[in-house]
Amino acid sequence: MDKIDLRSDTVTWPTSRMRQAMMEAEVGDDVYGEDPTVNELERRAAQKFGKEAGLFVASGTMGNIVSIMAHCGRGERAIMGHSAHTHANEAGNPAVLGGIQPWVVPVQPDGTLLLEDIRAGISSDDPHFPRTTLVCVENTQGATGGQPLSAAYIERVGKLCREQGLRLHLDGARIFNAAVAEGTDVATLTAPADSITFCLSKGLCAPAGSVIVGSDEFIYKARRIRKLLGGGMRQAGILAAAGLIALEEMTERLSEDHATARAFAEGLAHIPGVEVQPERVKTNMVFLKLHADSRLDGRMLSKKLEEDNIILRPSGVYHFRAVTHYWIKPAHIDFVLERINRYLA
Ligand SMILES: *Cc1c(COP(=O)(O)O)cnc(C)c1O
């Protein structure tokens, strides 16, 4: 990577091992169920999560909408966080494509939804109300800075869902970051969930693709909805080959990205004019804010950094979100800190 791109972990390029595997991948028609590499990826993903089956999809967004539509029929209600990706960042797809009513509850600063808020969103059986069938939880929670949710919390949500006869979908775009931060494995962390979507294309470096895991019955339904949405991809083994490396080799090293994020936040805390809370950096995201009386505003700082080949884009006037990943090494962080210090001091 010739630039130090801190905008997101989605900017990651595939590693050379991935490119090699893609070149050599055995392929077939996946819509016929005949792509051996896709089948292997789905099998290994399911195994890793302790679920019966997996389904390779084009993106995290597709994984979420396929899952939500497999759980909810038209006119049904899905409870989710107000800043959840499924609600805020997927073009309103539950309503647009599924005829599903999102019932939004506040996301707490630690990334959780309060159980009492979830409970209050569950409709009673009355013709006035949409029937509530699903709860969606996001781990790590992006809008709060990549907060990891604990296995104990997911278990409490799962218990509530079981008691109320609801399904639980986990948007685990960065579930491996959560598992590393929580010191557990993804099977334990997601055991109460009926379905999980995770991204191969973020910190795990694959060029594209996500996987949904769940029961055989759920994946059978999900496969039809993937087709409905145009997600049957034929010789997708080319992509799944990179996905297998993402799954097998790239998950454990995420602790390195968490360490660089923490080092970045701690360094920023020493720069005058920057507000940051290093103690909130639990995974690979750093939220920072420039003081209103700082020498530069966000746009100006971003422009200066671009001259140094550092890409960091402001969200709003003074706020930034920086995300660390495979291509960001400790030396890059030192360089970025030195430059930010130079421009703001
Ligand atoms: C990135 C992301 C998605 C969507 O993934 P895409 O592959 O970009 O469609 C869903 N949920 C969360 C929490 C994400 O961060």
Give the tens place of pLDDT for each residue, 244-254.
Answer: 999 999 998 99
CA-closest residue to ligand 1 atom 4: 60
Whether pLDDT at 339 is above 70: yes
pLDDT on residue 214 = 98
State if residue 203 touches ligand 1 by the CB under 6 angstroms criterion. no
Whether pLDDT at 239 is above 90: yes
Angle formed by the axes of helices 237-249 and 36-49, nearest 10°: 30
Query: 173 CA to middle of ligand 1, Å?
Result: 5
**29 DSSP assignment:** -
Strand order in the sheet with 274-276: 274-276, 285-290, 319-323
Provide, for the chain, the percentages of residues in helix, strand and coil under a 3-state DSSP scheme, each rounded to the nearest 5. 45, 20, 35
Whether pLDDT at 1 is above 90: no
- pLDDT-derived band of residue 165, with 50, 70 and 90 as boundaries? very high
The residue type of 289 is K
Query: 336 CA to middle of ligand 1, Å?
Result: 26
pLDDT on residue 2 = 78
CA-closest residue to ligand 1 atom 5: 60
Query: 196 CA to middle of ligand 1, Å?
Result: 12
State if residue 314 touches ligand 1 by the CB under 6 angstroms criterion. no
Query: 141 CA to middle of ligand 1, Å?
Result: 11
Give residue-wise pLDDT tens across range 50-74.
999 999 999 999 999 999 999 999 9
State if residue 59 touches ligand 1 by the CB under 6 angstroms criterion. yes
Atom of ligand 1 minimally distant from the CA of 142: 13
Whether pLDDT at 261 is above 70: yes
- Give the closest residue to 46 by CA, choosing from 183, 222, 166, 203: 222
Query: 60 CA to middle of ligand 1, Å?
Result: 5
Strand order in the sheet with 53-57: 53-57, 210-214, 195-199, 167-171, 131-138, 76-81, 101-105
State if residue 9 touches ligand 1 by the CB under 6 angstroms criterion. no
Is residue 341 within 8 Å of residue 308, measured between CB atoms?
Answer: no
The residue type of 256 is E
Query: 270 CA to middle of ligand 1, Å?
Result: 32
How distant, in Å, are the alpha carbons of 113, 164, 168, 229 from that of 132?
A: 16, 9, 12, 23
Ligand 1 pocket test, pick from 8, 12, 61, 86 with the greatest ligand atom count within 8 Å of Cβ, gives 61
State if residue 85 touches ligand 1 by the CB under 6 angstroms criterion. yes
CA-closest residue to ligand 1 atom 10: 60
Atom of ligand 1 minimally distant from the CA of 138: 13
Whether pLDDT at 21 is above 80: yes
State if residue 285 touches ligand 1 by the CB under 6 angstroms criterion. no
State if residue 15 touches ligand 1 by the CB under 6 angstroms criterion. no
Mean pLDDT throughout 315-319?
A: 93
pLDDT on residue 67 = 98
pLDDT on residue 345 = 84
Atom of ligand 1 minimally distant from the CA of 208: 7
